[in-house]
Amino acid sequence: MTGGAGFLGSHLCEQLLSQGHSVLCVDNYFTGSRKNIEHLLGNPNFEAMRHDVTFPLYVEVDEIYNLACPASPVHYQFDPVQTTKTSVIGAINMLGLAKRVRAKVFQASTSEVYGDPEVHPQPEEYWGRVNPIGFRSCYDEGKRCAETLFFDYRRQHNMPIKVVRIFNTYGPRMHPNDGRVVSNLIMQALSGEDVTLYGDGNQTRSFCYVDDLIRGFIALMGTEDAVTGPINIGNPGEFTIRQLAELVLELTGSSSKLVYRPLPPDDPRQRRPDITKAKAVLGWEPTVQLRDGVERTIQYFRNQL
């Protein structure tokens, strides 16, 4: 698993180990952390390797989960060229590895491939509306190109691929300073700082708790080879950012004040997955309600502080 020490990767490592698999966690620790996998290091079925996926990897495996890539604007805009390399060259290297060892390979794509959508909610058939030269393009277009590579390898080499499009996900082990809305709001509220909203706060997002997302990953990987995706995995419940901020203030008991800042360039106005395909093909849908998930995430960040 590339990106195995990250927020999502560490949860996926944990779940696969609990199912009896042997897991090789590959990470260069740019945004991932050894702390996320420390509790797994004593497991004889778990191995951690420091490696950057922009370089080839020579190992013997049966399945590959490619999760490596900084996923928050703060991190992926820090070195945008490297972000694109991670998505594109990383995909090439993992597809090459999968081809060599005849492994099934999974690509963690993103709802960002839809850009600032004109179709709502977003079904997998929608091609998106993405700025190819903006501040977010290194991530958006990198992930779009990775999808292209996966499907070209499928057509050209008949490889077993699985592509999932991840919508906003939150939960324990999020990086506290990753700039994502859930961690931002919680950290500001717990620290007594002003809680920052961008624009008027009426842009919408859908928030999926990490445990639900990981179930979707494993369900997709377990399907027959004819099922390739892309498949949306996310929570179709839609909330404004202001609603989320008010919930965080309520659950933390914080006296922080809401403050407004200008909307960043190319920030999507609305985002919600159409999960019809996930329900039909995987028998999957989320079960954790936003209030419950946010409470668990707040508790995690309280413990960190």
Q: In this predicted model, what pLDDT tens digit does every residue of 209-233 receive, in sequence order? A: 999 999 999 999 999 999 999 999 9
Instruction: Give a yes or no: residue 300 inside a domain.
Output: no
pTM: 0.93
Which residue in 65, 139, 153, 209 is the catalytic one? 139
Instruction: Give a yes or no: residue 132 inside a domain.
Output: yes
Q: Phi then psi for 30, rounded to 5 degrees?
A: -70, -50
Instruction: Please give the average per-residue pLDDT across 44-71, as a whole number.
Output: 95
Work out the percent of the chain whose per-residue pLDDT is above 70.
98
- The CATH number of residue 214's host domain is 3.40.50.720
Instruction: Give a yes or no: residue 161 inside a domain.
Output: yes
Instruction: Give a yes or no: residue 114 inside a domain.
Output: yes
Instruction: Give a yes or no: residue 299 inside a domain.
Output: no
Instruction: Give a yes or no: residue 267 inside a domain.
Output: no
Residues 6+ apart with CB under 8 A from 255: 192
Instruction: Give a yes or no: residue 93 inside a domain.
Output: yes
In whole angstroms, give the CA distance from residue 80 to residue 76.
Answer: 6
Q: Is 139 assigned a catalytic role?
A: yes
Instruction: Give a yes or no: residue 51 inside a domain.
Output: yes
Q: Provide the residue type at 137 as one letter.
A: S
How many domains are there within the chain? Answer: 1
Q: Provide the residue type at 31 as one letter.
A: T
Domain that holds residue 26: 7-175+207-236+272-287
Q: Are 240 and 287 in contact (CB under 8 A)?
A: no
Q: In this predicted model, what pLDDT tens digit does every residue of 190-206 receive, in sequence order? A: 999 999 998 888 889 99
